[in-house]
Amino acid sequence: MIHEYKTIDLFGQLLFEKIILTPPYKKPHPMPDEACFLYIIEGQYHSISQRDVLKINTRESVLMKCGNYLSQMYPAGQSGRYEAVAVHFFPDILKRVYENQLPGFLKMEYKDAPPLTQSKIQADMLIHKYIDSILFYFENQSLVNDDILILKLKEIILLLNQTANAPAIRAILSNLFNPGTYSFRQVIEAHLYSSIGTEELASLTHMSLSSFKREFKKIYKSAPAAYLKNKKLEKAAALLAIPEMRVGDIAYDCGFTDMANFSRAFKQKYGVPPSQYSPPEPN
């Protein structure tokens, strides 16, 4: 349930966004022509891109370039609520703000940088103080004008450019509006052991559910639900050979969110529950 939702626009485009809700809450988060900086005030956020999953905790943040994402919001702590602030970047707004003279680090190419779509940003006092200032403007919107918003937009870009993981951030900033291109197989392989379901995978591949199932069966010769469950169980069986690992941790690492479901599926495949499983001796 959403309890509070506020926005602040610049030049008719969304700039700042604040939300308070009762999690869990999930939704598609496509960003075909924008990038986003998201700061978690309270709760936990799972940002799922076509190639990875980032878990962002309270007082942490993430920078996401233009692309296709899924959002999952969860509670953290006793309050049971989720609160976050987002800053949105649109190319036409940045060009207007900088009068078509973008800072050098926004135009620089990072040829040796990994193909990141998003990057987690660790706690930083300057970032915390910046978010405090944005919250002040949300509560005092009569004080907001375009000149202040332009300054705040430039400020967050400069702050991101000097964070602890600045090289990764700069690589993303320089390619904010160039979405990564991933094949169907790359998206599936990236999420074999995540907890997202068939409908969410279809969303990440920009397909309807029926088209996704047809394409999946064509490539993997199996229905997606059966194939994905089998791969998760095979990984679980391999991890059970490691004495130090607990069954609950193995289930979680393999994308199972319910222990009863994991135990039932494992026993159905291997004949015994995970706690009694003995990996076969190598030849």
Q: What is the pLDDT of residue 283?
A: 58
Mean pLDDT of 13-25: 96
- Topology classification of domain 2-173: Jelly Rolls (2.60.120)
Question: In the structure encoding, which two tokens stand for residue 170, read together?
Answer: 């700069």
Q: Per CATH, the architecture of 184-276 is what?
A: Orthogonal Bundle (1.10)
Q: What is the pLDDT of residue 114?
A: 54
User: Per this entry, what is the length of the chain?
Assistant: 283
Among candidate residues 119, 118, 131, 7, the one with its CA nearest the CA of residue 59: 131
Q: What is the pLDDT of residue 169?
A: 79
Q: What is the pLDDT of residue 219?
A: 96
**With 90 as the cut, is the pLDDT of residue 81 above it?**
yes
Distance CA 115, CA 171 (A): 9
What are 55's strand-pairing partners?
A: 46
Average pLDDT value for the chain = 90
CB 144 within 8 A of CB 137: yes
Residue range(s) occupied by CATH 2.60.120.810 in the chain: 2-173
Q: What is the pLDDT of residue 166?
A: 73
Percent of the chain with pLDDT over 70: 93
pLDDT digits 0-9 by tens, 204-258: 998 999 999 999 999 999 999 999 999 999 999 999 988 888 999 999 999 998 9
Instruction: Tell me the pTM.
Output: 0.85
Residue range(s) occupied by CATH 1.10.10.60 in the chain: 184-276
Distance CA 264, CA 245 (A): 19
pLDDT digits 0-9 by tens, 125-180: 999 999 999 999 999 999 999 999 999 999 999 898 888 777 777 777 777 766 66
pLDDT digits 0-9 by tens, 82-121: 999 999 999 899 989 988 777 766 666 555 555 678 999 8
